[in-house]
Amino acid sequence: MADFTSSFWNWYIIIPTVAGIIACFLLIRWLSTAIKPEDQTKTMGHVWDEDLEELNNPLPRWWLNMFYITLFFGIGYLVLYPGLGSFSGMLGWTSLGQYQEEMDKADSKYGPLFSKYAAMDIIDVADDAEARRMGERLFVNYCATCHGSDARGARGFPNLRDNVWQYGGDPATIEQTILNGRSGVMPSWQEALGGEAGVADMTEYVFSLSGRKADAEAVQRGQEKYEMLCVACHGPDGTGNQALGAPNLTDNVWLYGGSRKRVMESIAIGRNGVMPSNREFLGEDKVHLLAAYVYSLSTGQESETE
């Protein structure tokens, strides 16, 4: 509310809000005093079931009192808390301030524990059952949306339990991946390969690298194109390059699906995978603990906490 660049929007909120409260008050006063005692026996002209009539009775006193209480509560709320344009309320409450207060309280309680593990080597943290349980809770809260609650991933989101790492699975690399994020780009090759036929030949060659059944003639044609276009990233033997995030094509593990259709899509239109940075969001101490948990997933240590 305090970020308004024009006073118009400030009054745009204040005037309808205040006018609405006043209008409700006047309306209820009118409804409670407009009926004269002699008019209370008059009907409103509505009849049901032949003889059931609606009389012109005043509103019940308890109902009116509840309405007044609601109005006064609304007025009190707007005086104490923000709700009238840029007026911050007499208490000075803000959602950001409450969030920061809760975060400070949590940091004072859990910060020393995170600091304790931050001073330890990731492998040693992964050996600690309590640390793994803490890391698991962090994972479920912040990582499960993409990688799944069981960390087995989904199409486009890697399985963290299979010990297959696109950028490297040593503890330090895992921590850097979580801290700084990753941006993996597979460019589109359909035009460079000469259209769908060239994409199909390349797909057959890629299948052959992982030992899958493939057409021999198509494999030969695809290999020629591979050596010209793909070897720089995936290597001459197709084992990839973790420094570039180029996946190993020989292990039959497919991030976006290993069907012929999916592999052809990856080659033809390319892929763009993004792992967001968590340095600012989680902080280095929490990331250190989370990295230890992720490392334990691929070593089997995590199962010891179950």
Radius of gyration of the chain (CA): 33
Closest-CA residue to 296 (of 119, 110, 129, 155): 129
**Strand ranges in 106-193 using DSSP code E only, listed in sequence order:** 182-186
Which CATH superfamily is 184-275 part of? Cytochrome c-like domain (1.10.760.10)
Tens of pLDDT, residue by residue over 217-243, are 999 999 999 999 999 999 999 999 999
State the Cα–Cα distance between residues 240 and 234, nearest whole angstrom: 4
The upper half-sphere exposure of residue 154, i.e. CA atoms within 13 Å in the direction of its Cβ, equals: 8
The CATH number assigned to the domain with range 102-181+276-305 reads 1.10.760.10
- Indicate the range of 20-24, 48-52, 107-111 predicted with least confidence: 48-52
pLDDT digits 0-9 by tens, 155-184: 999 999 998 999 999 999 999 999 999 999
Mean pLDDT, residues 83-101 = 89
Q: Quick check: 152 and 252 in contact, CB under 8 A?
A: no
- In sequence order, what are the beta bridge partners of 84? 87
Task: Over range 250-262, report the average pLDDT.
Answer: 94
pLDDT tens-place string over residues 113-127: 889 999 999 999 999
pLDDT at 87 over 70: yes
Sign of CA dihedral 232, 237, 243, 248: positive
Nearest to 22 by CA among 71, 77, 82, 76: 71
Which pLDDT score, from 0 to 100, does residue 3 have? 61
Average pLDDT, the chain: 90
Share of the chain above pLDDT 70, in %: 93
Q: What is the model's pLDDT at position 63?
A: 87
Q: Flag the least confident range among 3-7, 52-56, 117-121, 136-140.
A: 3-7
The rounded distance, in Å, linking the Cα atoms of 137 and 143 is 10
> Quick check: 259 pLDDT over 80?
yes
Domain 102-181+276-305 shares a fold with domain 184-275: yes
Using CA atoms, how far apart are residues 131 and 284, in angstroms rounded to an integer? 15
- Residue ranges covered by each domain of the chain: 7-80, 102-181+276-305, 184-275
* Cα maximum dimension of the chain: 103
Neighbouring CB atoms inside 10 A of 139's CB total: 21
**H or E element at residue 54:** strand 52-55
Residue-level pLDDT at 305: 54
- What pLDDT digit, counting tens, does each position of 287-297 carry? 999 999 999 99
Q: Does 67 have pLDDT greater than 70?
A: yes
Give the residue carrying structure tokens 């709320």: 77
* Residues across the chain: 306
What 3-state DSSP class applies to 63? helix
pLDDT given at position 135:
94
Q: What is the reported pLDDT for 32?
A: 75
